[in-house]
């Protein structure tokens, strides 16, 4: 079941993202930033156990541009298409807000290409999105791939 995240979900989201961050699969986010952006997140909750098994954020950047970020699924549940459903939910939410373009910065570009994202040069993204990058441990040597999808 996919639903919007609540304050009570943030520590679990943080733990999932921290796990993948420690492996170098994504950039983990500080707990305080997750609380700041709780309304950006959707989670996949197991209807039987109530356990959060995946998360994804849709962060608005401009009137027609949003970012899909912090997509992660508990490894033991990869075979359930949870990541796919979370991305599709982000698409639906973006359309509700009349967003025309979605981008992502990722270490897994092939996953996003399945949804019609295309690789772009990071320089094509507005300067506004780089405000988060300044706080990244990898700044200015970002090694993520930038992708864009027109809705």
* CATH code assigned to 2-150: 3.40.630.30
Q: Which of 133, 141, 83, 92 is nearest to 112 (CA)?
A: 83
Confidence (pLDDT) at 26:
85
Confidence (pLDDT) at 67:
95
Confidence (pLDDT) at 140:
56
Domain extent listing, the chain: 2-150
pTM given for the model: 0.89
Helix (H) and strand (E) counts in the chain: 5, 7
Helix (H) or strand (E) holding 115: none
Mean pLDDT in order along the chain per 10 residues (151 residues): 98 96 84 95 96 97 93 93 97 98 94 97 72 57 85 94
Confidence (pLDDT) at 134:
55
Task: Please state, in angstroms and rounded to a whole number, the distance separating the CA atoms of residues 43 and 86.
Answer: 7
Q: How many CA atoms lie within 13 A of 71 on its CB side?
A: 25
Task: Please state, in angstroms and rounded to a whole number, the distance separating the CA atoms of residues 10 and 104.
Answer: 21
Confidence (pLDDT) at 136:
57
């Amino acid at each position: 079941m996919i639903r919007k995240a609540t304050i009570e979900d943030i520590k679990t989201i943080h733990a999932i993202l921290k796990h993948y961050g420690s492996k170098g699969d994504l950039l983990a986010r500080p707990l305080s930033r997750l609380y700041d952006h709780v309304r950006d997140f959707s989670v996949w909750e197991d209807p039987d156990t109530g356990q959060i098994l995946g998360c994804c954020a849709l962060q608005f950047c401009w009137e027609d541009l949003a970012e899909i970020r912090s997509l992660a699924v508990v490894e033991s549940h990869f075979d359930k298409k949870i990541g796919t459903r979370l991305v599709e939910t982000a698409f639906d939410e973006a359309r509700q807000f009349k967003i025309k373009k979605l981008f992502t910065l990722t270490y897994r570009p092939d996953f996003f290409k399945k949804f019609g994202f295309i690789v772009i040069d990071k320089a094509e993204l507005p300067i506004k999105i780089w405000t988060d990058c300044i706080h990244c441990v990898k700044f200015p040597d970002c090694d993520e791939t930038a992708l864009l999808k027109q809705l």
